Structure 1
Amino acid sequence: MGDPASVVPLEFVAVKDSLSYEDVPVEILDCQVTRLRNKEVASVKVWWRSPSVEGATWKAEVAMKAKYPHLFPSNSTPA
């Protein structure tokens, strides 16, 4: 038996021809630099909005800047 509260309305899902959809990043919540043995890795906490779930995850800053530059202020300095 299904739960009617967990049904996602179709008008909110933008399904592509390949029958997939893309999560949409809403904003950058936080940033951190993790120090490994011989390098530092910059990460950002991203707030995502998707049809299935809303939430935040940590992602690599370089990858997020390359794919979603509009989320980063133009006057920010590289980490």
Structure 2
Amino acid sequence: MRAAQDRQSKYANVRRRSLSFEQGDRVFLKISPFRGTVRSGKRGKLSPRYIGPYEILERIGDLANRLALPPALSSIYDEFHVSMLKKYQPDPSHVLQPDETELDETLSYFERPIKIMDRKDKQLRNKSIPLVKVQWSRHGVEETTWELEQDTRKKYPEIFV
């Protein structure tokens, strides 16, 4: 039994790495993108996963850290598990400012449609599906997506005015 446990732990620990940060280190904070609608295209996978960098004010035990968050994120509790943090490697292209992203208490952000760019009907054998081309907030015209008109009308009636 012990040999089987050792073998399994060896396999499990191959990709595992110990994370520890010291007071004064700078780290990125992981956020979860949430749009409220299923969207196609590459933007969902390539959307920002981390914001920051933020300074670690203190270590709380081995796995928790208190961060110096800006006033815009004052509604979020400032203690985070090490799995939510990523070491900051100084590079200006990494930085995403929190004022560009509106976060809620669950560290998620919402993308809202700005306007309808185009309409079309997708023709199937015996029915027609109305679609609208939507431009999303914080995205350019080249990143518009085709959405079902019925679902978009239900979730965002204000853009159809």
Q: Is TM (by shorter chain) over 0.5?
A: yes
Determine helix, strand or coil for the equivalent of 2:93. Answer: helix
Match for residue 43 of structure 1 among 118, 124, 131: 131
Segments of structure 2 that go 5 or more residues without pairing to the other structure are 1-88
Alignment match, 2:147: 59
Match for residue 18 of structure 1 among 106, 109, 118: 106
Alignment match, 1:29: 117
Residues 64-79 of structure 1 correspond to what in structure 2 (within 5 A)?
A: 64-73=152-161
Determine helix, strand or coil for the equivalent of 1:38. Answer: coil
Letter in 1 for 2:147: K
| Structure with more relative contact order (C-alpha pairs < 8 Å, separation 6 or more) | 1
Alignment match, 1:77: none
1:25 deviation in Å?
A: 0.8
Determine helix, strand or coil for the equivalent of 2:130. Answer: strand
1:19 deviation in Å?
A: 1.4
- Cα gap change, 1:3 to 1:39, in 2 (>3 Å): farther
How many residues align? The count is: 71
Considering only aligned residues, what root-mean-square deviation do their CA atoms show, in Å? 1.8
Alignment match, 2:95: 7
TM-score by structure 2 length?
0.40
- After superposition, what is the alpha-carbon deviation per residue over 1:26-64, rounded to whole angstroms, capped at 9, x for unaligned? 1000000011112110000000123xx442100000001
1:14 deviation in Å?
A: 1.0
- The structure with more radius of gyration: 2
Alignment match, 1:76: none
Once structures 1 and 2 are overlaid, which stretch shifts more, 21-30 or 53-62? 53-62
